[in-house]
Amino acid sequence: MATVSYPSYFIRASSNRDSHDQNKQKLNNIRINGASSMSSMKPDTLSQPAGVVSTYNSFTSVNGNSITTEECRQNIPTKKQSVDPHRQGLIIEGGVGYRQTVVIRSYEVGPDKTPTLESILNLLQETALNHVWMSGLLSNGFGATHGMVRNNLIWVVSRMQVQVDHYPIWGEVVEIDTWVGASGKNGMRRDWLVRSQATGHVFARATSTWVMMKQETRRLSKMPEEVRAEISPWFIDKQAIKEDCPEKIVKLDNKARYMDSNLKAKRSDLDMNHHVNNVKYVRWMLETIPDEILESHKLSTIILEYRRECGNSDIVQSLCQPVEGGILEDGLKHKNGINLNGFSLASEVLEGSGLLCNFEKLPLRYTHPFQVKGEGGNEEIVRGRTTWKGKIPSKPITT
């Protein structure tokens, strides 16, 4: 399984959206410099002692309590917050969900002015962490609660799925809702909904499953009762993506049509647990997709199943194999036509009949295993599946 740097990992617009207008109005009253004109909106913060920033002492005293300079600088809330003026966040869903407003930045988009999947996943990660931040449960671990830190536990993601119906564009304001729920007896589920603030149109949905791991032994752990007591009041019985029977991703051998070998994580790819962040796998995965597909198609669905951790000393091999059985088996147009399950039709015939355009819009699917080189051979660390749909001209989105 992959150790990641945020708590557990898609839904429709909340019907109770109007009930949070009061909080939203408070958020809109915040001045540009981040200060609020309403004292009730200020988070439960620790007053910063004089000289902390200039001296960076290891410890300082606030109200008679000794705290580290890091804790003082982070200013982690010790009580539940309803509004976060700095992160443009609100508590919703009757006090247990979280909504954050973000603007799509220039460094988050590609040549087509839409955010990359990496950027979207990073936004999901940030909102998940901010949700825990505002809950008042966050300890000094990255996304870990106080009970988890006392039990030497960290979160690891076992499965994640993202569905993108439409991509926002550069400069667009989007709202991201996130919440958590139970997953079996010892797991947790985290879901997201990404929508346009202007129209309410749903862009993407995401869901993920999380379990706990002992930080020292790197073995999975049952959920302690004190941790269950912390997080269970935040559970919502709602799903962004309903999976009555989750799709199984078949295992592949060491042979695949496309391959990228001898990959090694850089320092910038590691999370706070010193292991490869899950977003890095997505980058490696997309680099094996043929250029022809990237130019003519857009990623619509991605599923990731994490099987073990990956560190910066591991040598990774990224494989990519077209899913057999589709009309366009490999997703590529050949020189003399298109291969249809063993039969070749001349491209001139297809273009003349208008079929080529339809074929290019059909979804293409690829399986993506990741392996590390070990003493006993290659060992699988992640298994993925991507679905791609043909690009269509941009049209105004209506509600």
**Residue 230 tokens, joined:** 């912390």
- Yes or no: say if 1 and 308 are a contact pair by the CB < 8 Å rule: yes
Enumerate the active-site residues.
273, 275, 310
Arithmetic mean of pLDDT, 26-35: 46
**Residues 382 and 307 sit within 8 Å (Cβ to Cβ):** yes
pTM for the full model?
Answer: 0.76
Q: What is the pLDDT of residue 378?
A: 83
Compare 327 and 239 and report the one with higher pLDDT. Answer: 239
Residue 253 has pLDDT above 80, yes or no: no
Tell me: pLDDT of 11 over 60.
Answer: no
pLDDT of residue 267: 82
pLDDT attached to residue 230: 97
How far CA 118 is from CA of 115, 162, 228, in Å, comes to 8, 11, 31
Q: Alpha helices of the chain — where are they, by DSSP H? A: 21-28, 52-55, 69-74, 117-135, 146-150, 225-231, 278-286, 291-296, 347-353, 355-360
Q: What is the mean pLDDT of residues 10-18?
A: 42
- How many angstroms separate the CA atoms of 253 and 339, rounded? 24
Neighbours of 262 (CB within 10 A): 8
Quote the pLDDT of residue 125. 92
Q: Averaged over 236-260, what is the pLDDT?
A: 85
Q: What is the pLDDT of residue 338?
A: 41
DSSP characters over 313-366: T--EEEEEEEPTTSSSSSS--BTTBEEETTEEE-HHHHHHHTHHHHHHTS-EEE
> Given this model, what pLDDT does residue 14 score?
42
pLDDT attached to residue 397 = 57
Quick: pLDDT tens for 76-93. 888 999 999 999 999 999
Higher pLDDT, 158 or 37: 158
pLDDT value at 225 more than 50? yes
- Average pLDDT of the chain to the nearest whole number: 78
Q: What is the mean pLDDT of residues 357-376?
A: 75
> Are residues 199 and 397 in contact, defined by beta-carbon separation less than 8 angstroms?
yes
Measured distance between the N- and C-terminal CA atoms of the chain, rounded to whole angstroms: 40
**Is it the case that residue 167 has pLDDT exceeding 80?**
yes
**pLDDT confidence band for 203 (50 / 70 / 90):** very high
pLDDT score recorded for residue 264: 85
> What are residue 90's DSSP bridge partners?
83, 99
Asked whether residue 330 carries a pLDDT value surpassing 60, the answer given is no
